[in-house]
Amino acid sequence: MVSGTNDLNTPPLVSLAAGGTAGAIEAFTSYPLEFAKTRVQLRQQKGVPTPRNPFLVVTRVYQKEGIRALYKGCAALVVGSVAKDGVRFLFFDQIKHAFADPETGTLSPLRNLAAGMTAGVVASIAAVTPTERIKTAMIDDARNDKIFRSGFHATTTIWKQHGIKGLYRGFAGTTLKQASATAFRMGTYNTLKDFEKSKKIEQSTLVNFANGSVAGVVTTLCTQPFDVIKTRSQSARGASTAEAVKSVLLDFGVRGFWKGTTLRLGRTVFSGGILFTSYEIAVKLINPFYSGITHSIGAEAS
């Protein structure tokens, strides 16, 4: 059985809907770990140790601020993830179709990376940068000024103060992170799937989850510096990419660019498995429904 991300015949609308559904599920279920990672990466008082265990950070925030604090900015991320993952699965599947070997239906590892990178750039422009900006600003605001009442209020406030540039603060860092992350995540996942396909390994839910988790580890280790720069740029006050890089170096030195790696690993291993598993299931559920509708429309037209 060939999965949705390896099926070159997956209709574009199915890729879009399945990707959006998977993104929403992944974002909501793993958000407390994303919250913890973002907290660690934001500017903090020097000399104050930061827990490396993501579950310890989550526990401390829960004890001091309650469960609602752990989901501060979650709505923005979920909305952004629906658009982001819908767009990147859509474009990745279409780019894969164009680049695939016509005989085997597979891509080389480099072509997998190139397809993922292209999809990541499109997703960053279309959805990721503004929603990540709102999410990060709300998490930063929650620990300091507490100005933003909701995601909508944060969006309108940033728009009034800084215009469209305010919502796209950190665009360079976000796009670099998104392009590289999508390249490594989608590329690694599909390379593993193609290898398993050649070895005739059955694609079960457990195998899909394991592949997604491995892809999450590779992605985190290779793209962490871009994630740190993006987070600093998109704090409540905001900063240019150059200012963000400088602040990381001043605070922690070169090692600071891997700040929050353990925390992010805790999320990406979990979220990578959820994302791709959800996508595979969503494709299987949506495809028959879509096929039925298109068949009915075709029958009526004839």
What residues have CB less than 8 Å from 196, skipping those under 6 apart?
203, 207, 211
Residues present in the chain in total: 302
**Domain carrying residue 157:** 4-290
Q: Is residue 297 part of a domain?
A: no
How much is the pLDDT for 207? 93
pLDDT reported for residue 17: 93
Half-sphere exposure (CA, 13 Å, Cβ side) for 218? 20
CA distance readout (Å), 230 to 129, 161, 275: 9, 20, 22
pLDDT at 43: 57
pLDDT at position 279 is 93
Say how far residue 207 (Cα) sits from the centre of its chain: 21
Q: Does residue 77 lie in a domain region?
A: yes
- Three-state DSSP state, 45: coil
Please state the domain count of the chain.
1
Residue 205 forms part of a structural domain: yes
State the Cα–Cα distance between residues 287 and 56, nearest whole angstrom: 41
Per-10-residue mean pLDDT of the chain, 302 residues long, equals: 48 90 91 79 61 74 84 82 85 78 74 84 85 83 79 89 88 84 88 88 91 91 86 76 88 86 80 91 90 76 62
The CATH number of residue 258's host domain is 1.50.40.10
Alpha-carbon torsion (204, 83, 232, 119), positive or negative: positive
- Residue 298 is assigned to a structural domain of this protein: no
CA–chain centroid gap for 239, Å, is: 22
22 in a domain, yes or no?
A: yes
At residue 51, the pLDDT reads 65
pLDDT of residue 53: 67
* pLDDT, position 4: 41
Cβ burial of 102 (10 Å; 0-12, 13-18, 19+) is exposed
